[in-house]
């Protein structure tokens, strides 16, 4: 850490030494209390809570920072500085300062040995001694939901506008969810307008205990089962000023995931890592704030338990991870609104988080097919040719997209009359071929035309839908169409206007979904065409580590006004609010399940839309990092996610594109898209060998779509993940915790892609259990599925939890089916419209004890309210004692007639002498003593009871 200016000297008019001296006086006055290290435990009984606080031992204690008063007496150098390096909390979080400045503020100054500067933080040189004063807890009172208390601070900090009296409310909402807030009781502050559950009485059997430290104030949350501390906010001072709030906690282990969106491995580094949340148009690169903000983390604990923490705050923030391990939230506004989820299993933590922010929406079936786009499809003739080329080459294509090219002057809700004169007819032709169409829609609305020339802007002005500047006029920035205004999607009038614009354009061009881009919102000028005012919102006392150094960089002015608050508060919600408006507009315009893909996201995004990971480069590094990105968004309740296959920026190579297509076939959202100035990369552009390898991956995806669709239904109704990391299924195996180059589809299918050039083998981790190689399974009864590999392959691996080297020639992505599970397959076609009509098969992967289970969800693929109306079929499959049966949970016309043509049983130890289907002998079954695979041709219906047995 080098020389620099102390934050308090920049933000306050008072002399540095006097300010810090006052803090030291306050420290001395409170030292007696702090050195007692009072640790108060909330009693198990309700009686007597308001009469006092019980004392207990406390592991750590901390206090606040500096104080703004016009005092000039310098204070002594602190004497209690023997804090372990990894447990030091930064006393100057915004700037490097000198030893004199640090010690004058009563902080400890010990230079770190490395002294390096760069994108990664180092340990702080200036840090809090254990004796800093903080808020004091008073008047702890039991309530119907938990507790309330008052927090008071005697010594203000060096940040302006301290709030010296706070209200703590602790809500014991469910047995696995604790919720607490810290607010200003005297003044209403901005709170995130997210709909969250309301509970009216406290849980009677929580999995947690809550303890309070009186002075310095802190909250400690323990897991009752083993006493493990999950949250301990006593380790560093609580800050609560108008524009700087800080809350720190210990972590039980350094295994932390979450805090999207960033380009990194799935497991975050706790080695002095700063993660900034402030949505930004930025091609993904490590160490910078990207398109989305999700202030939620999940921690894996020793033994396989897990917990999660969600800070419901949308202001610009930094989250700092340090090796002790510990975590600090530093946010620039709002309140502290904290949820703690007890799990205890990692997948339970995810469900509990989604119970607060919302379960994912159910996508239309066609949305799970292959999507194709390119910036540069400059006419309907080119689009038609692309679709024809895909068909001729035998590649499935469900959804054709267009980037900016279709627009007139790059303006929303228009199409140009040069290359796209017959645009509506083109979309209708796609529909006639069983395909769908999605187009780009940016939020920025062109403001350059004369009055009356562009209805979206004219009508928007009339209805007052745009974000306004300090003068009350629409803020004008610059985006693709040039000068542009920005709709305020927090306004009900804007949502109504957006619905009208979508419906009017849909009446001309019957599109099927919306691709909402540039919605951080992105701006090609800083703030606006005339800059931004010089005020505290544009220049806050603390600026998180945002790319560009200011909140206005690549976006609009923070001080601009929206219906619900300032953009300073609402910036991170812009993409979410546009996604909500677009979701509703599509429901109104089409009357079917909406399909929205958005670049910018916030917590709860999955309720309304999916996400693609933005402008990734065509590189092996970004191919590999797309796996943890996909897994992370599934943990955050956004399962409809994927990266641009083969990369968006730069030119792909043939090998890279093959490997990316193989992985992309197992993104929940599968789209190939690239940039105007990159070489075209449609699958048919490559050699015959490459095309065959890609075609094999496409075919596998389309055959597995019934299973994928069933996973989405479980995510929608139960808060499960679709693509998931191995640790979610195997949390008690620590080897799985850091695996992020493989992914699971649901519980049953393990995908091990090749992520490096020149490789014909790949190392994968197989958790303990039986794993069947799907390459050895023949699906010839279903039509054009790839045949089993001619190379001798190991059909089954009985793993003890081990790394395995797997053959992976260019045409192969390794797929392993987990013993104990049954998954449905369906004959593939070039569109889901056709594939949904094909016969089905079941692959039964027996466990070591000879049993297995699975399920199939089916509906018409696009209607709203199918669960409420009962317009669906849900079938459970069970295998045990040499039999496979189905259990009809619910049967409707959709799904009842699905044909079952084949049942393949994996792991049949000995050759059967007889096979029966509903009591009728099956004479043409086959059995391989080498692979232990039993193939049973049948002629059954999914919606009717069946029993298949072998003996």
Tell me which residues are annotated as active site. Answer: 517, 520
Count of C-beta atoms within a 10 Å radius of residue 470: 14
User: Is the CB of residue 405 less than 8 Å from the CB of residue 480?
Assistant: no
Report H helices in 858-901. Answer: 866-869, 893-896
The string of DSSP letters for 536-566 reads: TTTS-S---S-TTSSTTTTSB-TT-B-SSSB
Phi-psi region at 368: left, alpha or beta (left = phi > 0; alpha = psi -120 to 50): alpha
User: Is the CB of residue 125 less than 8 Å from the CB of residue 90?
Assistant: no
User: Is the CB of residue 250 less than 8 Å from the CB of residue 229?
Assistant: yes
Q: Cα–Cα distance between 4 and 164 in angstroms, integer?
A: 29
Count of C-beta atoms within a 10 Å radius of residue 118: 7
- Rounded to 5°, angle at Cα 494 from 493 and 497: 90
User: Is the CB of residue 234 less than 8 Å from the CB of residue 248?
Assistant: no
Closest CA to 601 of 352, 151, 296: 296
Phi, then psi, of 20 in degrees rounded to 5: -70, -30
Q: Cα–Cα distance between 811 and 662 in angstroms, integer?
A: 9
Torsion of CA 475, 480, 482, 484, to 10 degrees: -20
Three-state secondary structure call for residue 842: strand
User: Is the CB of residue 611 less than 8 Å from the CB of residue 704?
Assistant: no
**Hey, what are 891's tokens?**
């049967």
Q: Cα–Cα distance between 358 and 376 in angstroms, integer?
A: 37
Q: Cα–Cα distance between 267 and 632 in angstroms, integer?
A: 10
User: Is the CB of residue 124 less than 8 Å from the CB of residue 81?
Assistant: no
Strands (E), 87-127: 108-109, 126-127
DSSP state of 804: E
Three-state secondary structure call for residue 605: helix
Q: Cα–Cα distance between 713 and 722 in angstroms, integer?
A: 9
Q: Cα–Cα distance between 823 and 703 in angstroms, integer?
A: 11
Q: Cα–Cα distance between 484 and 495 in angstroms, integer?
A: 18
Residues 6+ apart with CB under 8 A from 104: 16, 17, 20, 21, 74, 75
């Amino acid at each position: 850490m080098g020389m620099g200016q102390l934050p308090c000297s920049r933000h306050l008019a008072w002399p540095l030494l006097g300010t810090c001296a006052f803090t030291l006086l306050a420290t001395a006055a409170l030292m007696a209390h702090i050195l007692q290290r009072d640790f108060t435990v909330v009693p198990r009984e309700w009686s007597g809570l308001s009469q006092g606080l019980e004392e207990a031992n406390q592991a750590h204690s901390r206090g606040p920072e500096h104080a703004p008063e016009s005092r000039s007496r310098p204070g002594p150098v602190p004497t209690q500085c023997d804090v372990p390096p990894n447990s030091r909390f930064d006393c100057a979080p915004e700037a490097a300062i000198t030893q004199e400045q640090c010690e004058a503020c009563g902080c400890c100054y010990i230079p770190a040995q490395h002294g390096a500067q760069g994108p990664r933080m180092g340990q702080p040189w200036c840090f809090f001694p254990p004796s800093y004063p903080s808020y004091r807890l008073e008047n702890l009172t039991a309530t119907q939901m938990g507790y309330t208390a008052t927090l008071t601070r005697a010594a203000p900090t060096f940040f302006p506008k301290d709030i010296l009296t706070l209200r703590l409310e602790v809500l014991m909402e469910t047995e696995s969810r604790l919720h607490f807030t810290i607010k200003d009781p005297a003044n209403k502050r901005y709170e995130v307008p997210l709909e969250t559950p309301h509970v009216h009485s406290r849980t009677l059997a929580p999995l947690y205990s809550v303890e309070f430290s009186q002075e310095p104030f802190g909250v400690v949350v323990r897991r009752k089962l083993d006493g493990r501390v999950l949250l301990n906010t006593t380790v560093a001072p609580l800050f609560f000023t108008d524009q700087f709030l800080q809350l720190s906690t210990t972590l039980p282990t350094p295994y932390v995931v979450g805090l999207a969106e960033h380009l990194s491995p799935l497991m975050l580094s706790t080695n002095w890592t700063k993660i900034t949340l402030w949505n930004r148009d930025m091609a993904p690169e490590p160490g910078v704030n990207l398109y989305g903000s999700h202030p939620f983390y999940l921690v894996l604990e020793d033994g396989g338990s897990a917990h999660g923490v969600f800070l419901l705050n949308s202001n610009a923030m930094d989250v700092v991870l340090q090796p002790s391990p510990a975590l600090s939230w530093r946010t620039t506004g709002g309140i502290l609104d904290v949820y703690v989820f007890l799990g205890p299993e990692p997948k339970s933590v995810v469900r509990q988080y989604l119970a607060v922010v919302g379960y994912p929406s159910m996508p239309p079936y066609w949305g799970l097919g292959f999507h194709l786009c390119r910036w540069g499809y400059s006419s309907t003739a080119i689009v038609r040719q692309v679709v024809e080329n895909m068909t001729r080459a035998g590649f499935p294509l469900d959804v054709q997209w267009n980037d900016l090219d279709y627009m007139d002057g790059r303006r929303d809700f228009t199409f140009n009359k040069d290359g796209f004169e017959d645009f509506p007819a083109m979309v209708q032709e796609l529909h006639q071929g069983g395909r769908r169409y999605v187009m780009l829609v940016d939020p920025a609305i062109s403001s350059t035309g004369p009055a009356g020339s562009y209805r979206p802007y004219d009508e928007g002005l009339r209805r007052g839908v745009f974000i306004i500047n300090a003068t009350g006029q629409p803020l004008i920035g610059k985006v693709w169409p040039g000068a542009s205004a920005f709709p305020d999607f927090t306004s009900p009038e804007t949502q109504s206007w957006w619905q009208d614009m979508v419906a009017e354009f849909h009446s001309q061009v019957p599109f099927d979904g919306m691709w909402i881009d540039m919605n951080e919102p992105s701006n090609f000028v800083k703030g606006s065409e005339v800059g931004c005012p010089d005020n505290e919102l544009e220049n806050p006392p603390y600026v998180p580590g945002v790319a560009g150094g200011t909140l206005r960089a690549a976006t609009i002015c923070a001080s601009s006004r929206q219906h619900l608050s300032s953009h300073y508060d609402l910036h991170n919600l812009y993409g979410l609010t546009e996604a909500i408006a677009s979701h509703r507009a599509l429901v109104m315009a089409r009357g079917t399940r909406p399909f929205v893909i958005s670049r910018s996201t916030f917590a709860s995004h999955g309720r309304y839309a999916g996400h693609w990971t933005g402008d990734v480069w065509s590189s092996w590094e970004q191919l590999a990092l797309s796996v943890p990105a996909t897994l992370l968004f599934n943990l955050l309740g956004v399962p409809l996610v994927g990266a641009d296959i083969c990369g968006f920026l730069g030119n792909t190579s043939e090998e890279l594109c093959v490997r990316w297509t193989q992985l992309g076939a197992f993104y929940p959202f599968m789209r190939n898209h690239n940039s105007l100035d990159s070489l075209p990369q449609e699958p048919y552009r490559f050699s015959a060998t490459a095309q065959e390898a890609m075609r094999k991956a496409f075919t596998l995806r389309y055959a597995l779509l019934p299973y994928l669709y069933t996973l989405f239904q479980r995510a929608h109704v139960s808060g499960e993940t679709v693509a998931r990391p191995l640790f979610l299924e195997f949390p008690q195996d620590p080897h799985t915790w850091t695996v992020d180059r493989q992914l699971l589809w649901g519980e049953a299918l393990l995908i091990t892609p090749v992520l490096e050039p020149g490789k014909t083998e790949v190392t994968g981790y197989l958790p303990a259990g039986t794993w069947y190689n799907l390459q050895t399974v023949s699906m010839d009864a279903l039509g054009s599925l790839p045949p089993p590999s001619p190379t001798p392959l190991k059909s089954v691996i009985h793993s003890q939890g081990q790394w395995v080297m797997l053959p992976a020639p260019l045409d192969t992505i390794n797929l392993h089916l987990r013993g104990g599970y049954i998954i449905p397959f369906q004959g593939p076609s070039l569109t889901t419209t056709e594939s949904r009509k094909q016969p089905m098969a079941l692959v039964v992967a027996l466990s070591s004890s000879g049993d297995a289970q699975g399920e199939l969800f089916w509906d018409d693929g696009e209607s709203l309210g199918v669960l409420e109306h009962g317009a669906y079929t849900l079938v459970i499959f069970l295998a045990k004692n040499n039999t496979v049966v189905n259990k009809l949970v619910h049967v409707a016309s959709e799904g009842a007639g699905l044909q079952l043509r084949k049942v393949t049983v994996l792991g049949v130890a000995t050759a059967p002498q007889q096979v029966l289907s509903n009591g009728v002998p099956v004479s043409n079954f086959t059995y391989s003593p080498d692979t232990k695979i039993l193939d049973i041709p049948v002629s059954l219906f999914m919606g009717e009871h069946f029993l298949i047995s072998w003996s």
